[in-house]
Structure 1
Amino acid sequence: MKLQVKLSVLIGIVFTSGSLIINGSNSIISKREAIRTQDKILNDALDFVRESPTNDVSEVLVFSETSPAPISATLYFDDSQPVVLIEGIDGSRVLKIPNLEVSEVASATKTPLNLNDENSMRISSYSIGNGEWLIVGLSVATVNQEFSNAIGRSFLLTVIIALLMTLLVRFLISRALRPIDLIIEDAKKIATGSTEIKLRTAGGNDEISRLTHTLDEMLGRIQKAVKSAKDSETLMKEFMGDASHELRSPLTVIRGYVDILAGQQTLSDEQRERAIYRLKSESFRMSKTIDDLLILAEIGEVEIRKSDEVDLTDLVTEFVEDFKVRNPGRSVHQNIDSKVTVPGNSEQLSRMIANLLSNIERHTPELAAVEILLIKGQTEANLYFDDAGAGLTPDTYSRLNTGFERFDKNRSKSGGGFGLGLSIMSAIVKNHGGTVQLSPSHLGGLRTQISLPTSTSKN
């Protein structure tokens, strides 16, 4: 059973029960008021006799002439037959007081007594003395009938209103729960694999609307995470394919020269020296690739303790001076703030800077200008490396900051090395809680911006 049906039925039951209780209580109260009115008539009739000087029972006849309701009166004797004084007429019925036991008559002197006879009589009595009682009575059949009719009408009216109200409530609940139905429909689509959808939301600020917006935000994060996972998987496959290719290439060369050296043909000294040289260079290239892969795998395993501070000013200055010595023909501009420290691992940060400068050396012309800046912010240190090289292709910039992407596939191969430099650099920066941003440089080439949290922001 749907929730809206359950709520509608529950509300209908509660309304019906409450209405029946209220209407039933009102009917009971009305009946009691009518009975009290009848009792007052009986008491007034007896008072006519009580207040007469001689307890003249004939006074009840006088009262019957002006009584609001038809009454009957009987003079009862404990040792002889009763004498009927008057018999009232209620419509077509003659109100006869039946024969009673003495105990019943005596009891009626204290409180009016209901008789289970055909006329539904209610009597009250007054003891005259000497074993004589005056009994007066009237019919409460009309009162009982009105009570039954009122109960029946109330029940029928309540049921009709309850049905109408249940239908109205179901309609209103159906409209109120419509956003949940939309969520269910969208969730079924998601369950079948359709993740590229947006939850349909209804306007408003009620709980259901807020729930829908919250779920939509959560779905957005899930979709973003799924896309990120797919992108990472694609990049990882590309990365592993490149790694396999770079390892396979030197192995192919090595195998070829080993076959030549192991062959039966006679080689000249020059050919033999070249073969040995190529074996050494390709084995070194393969060893360097393997070392870079191991470094990349080990970076995340090194815990960066916030208590270990690295003087980034001294570290950058040292590498820049070495870079100038190796590149005397370059125009190198530097602007390095003093006393810049960051919590981190000195060995990893040194490798990061070395990789950046090495990439500039390998992928830019020998005379291309270089600019290196270290600027201390309130909560982070910003390191900028700008070069006047060829830069990257426009589509490459859209795939930056991924950790498995080369600077540029063509650029990396033309430089004679495998493009693990950016991967290693990105992993080191991430391990230190920082960020990497690659963008076109004002010098015409590539700008690499690295932001690292400083010691002042560790708390």
Structure 2
Amino acid sequence: MSIRLRLTLLYSAILAVTLLALGVVLYWTVERVTLGTLADALRDDARTLAYSRPFRSDHEEGRSVRFASPQTYVQARAPDGTVLDRTPNLDTYELPLSTDGLSACRRGEAWTEVAAVDDSRLLIYSKPVFDDNQLAGILQVARSLNDYDQTLLTLRSLLVAGSLVVIVMAFGAGWVIAGAALRPIHRITDTARAIGTHRDFERRVQYTGPPDEIGQLAGTFNTMLDELQDAHQQTEQSLHAQRRFVADASHELRTPLTTIRGNLGLLQRRPPIAEEDRDAVIGDMVDETNRLIRLVNDLLVLARSDAGHPLRREAVELAPLIDDVCRQARLLGADRTIECENTARAVVIGDRDALKQVLLILLDNALKFTPAGGVIRIASTLNTQTAAVSIADTGPGIAPGDLPHIFERFYRSDVSRTGAGAGLGLAIAKDLVDAQAGQITVASEAGRGSTFTVTLPLRPT
């Protein structure tokens, strides 16, 4: 059963119960008031007759076998209940008096009752008549309830027919209103179904109604679609990057493995190759093996970063770390000038080993592209909440078109700046810096060199 039908049935049921309650109250009120009015009229007639002098029981003219609604019937009884006289319109009929009514009249109490006479109902009012404080007789005054019963029958018919008409109309109106109220939900359902079928996350629910609950639902659904679209795009980008990463890693791993396999083939030749060639082949294999080890280590670092393995968060003094890195740089680049300037006495929050690896990657990158006789400067600056370490070289610089991509994995620009690397160093450096809540930036000018800056948060004081 649909929500629309359930809501419509609920509206109709509530209305039906309400109409039934109102109808019962209205019918009961009309019945009581009308019957009370008739009883009061009979009481007034009985009082008038009882105190009239002389009393004549035949004051009603006309005789009728059947009871007519506008007629009043009068009957006089003795104290013992014997009928003494009655109006001619009663003909041969007697107004009944129940045992309880006779007892009440003997006690001096008036009695009202409804009795059936000749398939008609009569409202009978019996009043005791006293003479010198003695019960002289009982005066009964009655009227037919035909008009009263007909009025109640008409009222019942009108209430039932009117209620049925109102319920049917309410059912139709409720069906239309529920359909209009649920139409945005149907649109949401259609949109969700279309998105699931066509994978179209750009579709949105078109809602132009008021900002009620349905409007809030439509807005929330559209917001969810925005987030799903972003998540889908990020997933697509991640999958694309993963596929590219796997393809690039496979390519980078295949190159040294191909070289090693080719050299092994040379060593297996018969007759064997010359001793001098054999030593050269072994040297190439050692170099390729070392290259392969470095590449695998780099891939492991990136895999740990992607897996979300947290780094240590500890206090790291910058000055000793930079001095240590400068010493290693001078050993590796003896033909270049390594300058360490403005070493700030700052303590940052991070992982010392990861931070040292970042600086060594940047120094290795600077040494790789700074020609002999060039200058590499390492400097640190202290800000309000952060400390920055910059490494500047005097190499060929980076082309503007390559700057947005240099931190991407396996990205390599022109041959003058690629060398033999796999394009993972700067990507590793960025991942390590990001994992320490830091930031790495680069500024470069073609032909004049590049400056890489690593910014880390200071230890709270």
1:394 to 380, 392, 401: 401
Does residue 427 of the first structure (1) align with residue 428 of the second (2)?
A: no
What secondary structure, in the 3-state scheme, does the structure 2 residue paired with 1:406 have? coil
Aligned to 2:141: 136
Aligned to 1:91: none
Q: Judging changes above 3 Å, is the alpha-carbon distance between structure 1 residues 266 and 212 closer, same or farther for their aligned structure 2 residues?
A: same
One-letter amino acid of the structure 2 residue matched with residue 391 of structure 1: I
Q: Distance in 2 between matches of 1:444 and 1:181?
A: 63
Aligned to 2:65: none
One-letter amino acid of the structure 2 residue matched with residue 351 of structure 1: Q
Aligned to 2:175: 170
Q: Distance in 2 between matches of 1:166 and 1:245?
A: 72
Q: Distance in 1 between matches of 2:454 and 2:187?
A: 45
1:85 to 65, 84, 87: 87
1:401–1:437 CA contact under 8 A, matched in 2: no
Does residue 344 of the first structure (1) align with residue 347 of the second (2)?
A: no
Q: Judging changes above 3 Å, is the alpha-carbon distance between structure 1 residues 192 and 431 closer, same or farther for their aligned structure 2 residues?
A: same
1:157 to 134, 140, 162: 162
Computed over aligned residues only, the root mean square deviation of the Cα atoms, in angstroms, reads 3.9
One-letter amino acid of the structure 2 residue matched with residue 408 of structure 1: R
Alpha-carbon shift at residue 76 of structure 1 (Å): 2.3
Q: Deviations over 1:348-384 (max 9, x none)?
A: 1110121122223324656777676755555555555
What secondary structure, in the 3-state scheme, does the structure 1 residue paired with 2:211 have? coil
Alpha-carbon shift at residue 416 of structure 1 (Å): 0.6
**Structure 1 stretch displaced more, 412-421 or 285-294:** 412-421
What secondary structure, in the 3-state scheme, does the structure 2 residue paired with 1:126 have? strand
Q: Distance in 2 between matches of 1:145 and 1:329?
A: 121
Q: Judging changes above 3 Å, is the alpha-carbon distance between structure 1 residues 60 and 213 closer, same or farther for their aligned structure 2 residues?
A: farther
Aligned to 2:187: 182
Q: What 5-or-longer segments of structure 2 have no aligned partner?
A: 63-68
Q: Distance in 1 between matches of 2:316 and 2:83?
A: 126
Q: Distance in 2 between matches of 1:181 and 1:146?
A: 50
Alpha-carbon shift at residue 436 of structure 1 (Å): 4.8
One-letter amino acid of the structure 1 residue matched with residue 89 of structure 2: E
Q: Distance in 2 between matches of 1:223 and 1:165?
A: 43
Does residue 311 of the first structure (1) align with residue 317 of the second (2)?
A: yes
Alpha-carbon shift at residue 432 of structure 1 (Å): 1.8
Q: Judging changes above 3 Å, is the alpha-carbon distance between structure 1 residues 442 and 392 closer, same or farther for their aligned structure 2 residues?
A: closer
What secondary structure, in the 3-state scheme, does the structure 2 residue paired with 1:33 have? helix
Alpha-carbon shift at residue 107 of structure 1 (Å): 5.2
Share of identical aligned residues, percent? 21
Q: Distance in 2 between matches of 1:317 and 1:214?
A: 55
Aligned to 2:228: 222
Q: Distance in 2 between matches of 1:130 and 1:112?
A: 18
Q: Distance in 2 between matches of 1:213 and 1:262?
A: 72
Q: Judging changes above 3 Å, is the alpha-carbon distance between structure 1 residues 331 and 149 closer, same or farther for their aligned structure 2 residues?
A: farther
Q: Distance in 2 between matches of 1:180 and 1:311?
A: 60
1:389–1:445 CA contact under 8 A, matched in 2: yes
Q: Deviations over 1:406-429 (max 9, x none)?
A: 342665994112222133223312
2:115–2:121 CA contact under 8 A, matched in 1: yes
Q: TM-score, normalised by structure 2?
A: 0.80
One-letter amino acid of the structure 1 residue matched with residue 10 of structure 2: L
One-letter amino acid of the structure 2 residue matched with residue 87 of structure 1: N
**Structure 1 stretch displaced more, 193-202 or 176-185:** 193-202
Aligned to 1:408: 412
Aligned to 1:199: 204
Q: Judging changes above 3 Å, is the alpha-carbon distance between structure 1 residues 413 and 333 closer, same or farther for their aligned structure 2 residues?
A: closer
The number of residues matched between the two structures is 442
Does residue 256 of the first structure (1) align with residue 262 of the second (2)?
A: yes
Q: TM-score, normalised by structure 1?
A: 0.81
Alpha-carbon shift at residue 112 of structure 1 (Å): 1.6
Q: Judging changes above 3 Å, is the alpha-carbon distance between structure 1 residues 102 and 76 closer, same or farther for their aligned structure 2 residues?
A: farther
Aligned to 1:356: 362
Does residue 209 of the first structure (1) align with residue 211 of the second (2)?
A: no
1:331–1:367 CA contact under 8 A, matched in 2: no
Q: Distance in 2 between matches of 1:268 and 1:48?
A: 155
